Homo-oligomer: A and B are copies of this chain.
Amino acid sequence: MSTELPHTQQGIRRRNLSLVMHTVAAQGPLSRAAVAGRIGLTRAAVSTLVDELIRAELLVELGPERPGTAQATGSAQPRPGTAQATGSSQPHGSARTVGRPGNALTIGERGPVGLGAEIGVDRLAVCAVDLHGKVRAGAVLESDHRDSAPDPVLKELTRLVRQVTATVRGAGLKPAGLAVAVPGLVARDSHTVVRAPNLGWSDIDLGPHLLDALDGLPLSVDNEANLGALAELWIGGDPAPQDFVHVSAEIGIGAAVVVGGRLLRGTHGFAGELGHVPVRPEGPPCRCGGRGCLEQYAGEEAVLRAAGLTPGEGRIGLLSALAADGDQRVRKALRGAGSALGIALAGAVNLLDPQTVVLGGALSKLAPWLLPSLERELGRRTADPERPGGGTVSVSRLGSQGPLLGAAHSVVQAVLDDPSAAPWNR
């Protein structure tokens, strides 16, 4: 039994507002009656909720679905702009006159947007996504952030955030918060990057740099693998898988586990460290203190070394270009990395029994050369005929955009989950 479920009138109202918003965002335009049917509430109750959402400019009414179908049962026709639902206790007959029935509801074009940002190894990016899920503005800056000083990078990112904020405000949209994807560990419920080895950062608090540009809007910071996985869950498929392991990589190997449509964060916020799953227990020592971790076989540095390239000389983009060109040494290195990924993922699949494994982020670019050996190892270790269904692998169609989109969508989801919080009006 979880005690976080609503059992007060206010909690139920908040939850029902969220149900209406999610339903219209996913399936709109919809009439009030259609929304009521889908969420199992009365027309009268839905009208009260909808009126509140229209006043908050989260929903708008399109013209009548079928002109002339609105039927008033009282003597007075509702006057546009003055109709007000007064509560869910109204008798059904009078409730039908409220809010011009038959008019289709949709998400407002000028409502809130979620801001997402990404601090990548070789780029900074910011985008704004509206409640429809449409990208409304963006800015990208290519630059190398390996072993970078945090201050100038964060100053540059703040400038991009201000730029995108100004653009969307100019279009009448209202930023509702910013989420930042970073290639590293983030302490749970904090703005602090505990360690981002490819950036060379440790214990960097993003708050002081970014909060000023946000003018009171909420800021969140999360690991890029987590946000990539959430993007997969929210916009990656149709239908999106609800139970999967999402694997991505820059220098290390990051993964995220989604169970029952929820990201598994772990007790300390450090779940998903697939890179430190032992592949060969007596293998080369790893920076984590262990030996033979997956990172020693499939991390960028290990793959570059196996391909005869010196780390620093190349990176994942180069690897995919060389592999596409037919470079046999690179292809062999990627086959080895695929095998190691398959072994580590076999452990994960046996433990978690997910619907699928998704290769996302930078790994999606390397998929053509990783997949054959990965699927071979994973397949033979999860092919027990009495435990069918394990071991399917797919490649994210979001590719390396996943974490950035996941960041922006996490703000959108927060708006849909609690539309009455309205941080953009504070």
Per assembly, the copies of the chain total 2
Are the C-beta atoms of B353 and A289 separated by less than 8 Å?
A: no
Q: Is the CB of B289 within 8 A of A384?
A: yes
User: Which residue of the partner chain, among B267, B273, B275, B390, contacts A270 with CB atoms under 8 Å?
Assistant: B390
Stretch at the interface among A5-13, A145-153, A159-167: A5-13
Given A39-B7, A279-B281, A268–B352 Cβ distance below 8 Å?
no
Complex alpha-carbon distance, A308 and B276, angstroms: 34
Whether the pair B7, A12 counts as a contact (CB closer than 8 A) is yes
Q: Select one of B267, B277, B351 contacting A243, CB under 8 A.
A: B267
Query: Which among B15, B264, B275, B281 is the interface contact of A259 at CB below 8 angstroms?
Result: B264
Q: Are B289 and A381 in contact (CB under 8 A)?
A: yes
A359-387 contacts to B (CB < 8 Å) = 377, 380-384, 386-387
Contact A2 B386 (CB under 8 A): no
Contact A264 B343 (CB under 8 A): no
A346 at the binding interface (Cβ < 8 Å): yes
Q: A7-B19, A278-B346, A380-B289 are in contact. Are A351 and B387 (CB under 8 A)?
A: no
In the bound assembly, the distance between CA atoms of A277 and B348 in angstroms comes to 8
CB distance from A403 to the nearest CB of B (A): 19
Chain A residues 246-300 with CB under 8 Å of chain B are 255, 257, 259, 261, 264-281, 288-291, 293
Contact B8 A40 (CB under 8 A): yes
Is A195 an interface residue, CB under 8 A from the partner? Answer: yes
Assembled-state Cα–Cα distance A399/B243 (Å): 31
A342 to chain B, nearest CB (A): 9
Which residue of B5, B280, B353 is within 8 Å of A267 (Cβ)?
B353
Whether B271 and A1, one on each chain, are in contact in the complex, defined by CB atoms closer than 8 angstroms, is no
Q: How far is the CA of A259 from the CA of B16 in the complex (A)?
A: 27
Is A416 in the interface zone, CB < 8 Å from B? yes
**Contact across chains for B277 and A280 when beta carbons are under 8 A apart:** no
Partner of A351, one of B3, B255, B346: B255
User: Would you mind naming 13 contact pairs between A and B with Cβ atoms under 8 Å apart?
Assistant: A5-B15, A7-B41, A202-B386, A264-B352, A265-B353, A266-B354, A270-B353, A271-B351, A272-B351, A272-B353, A273-B387, A277-B347, A278-B347
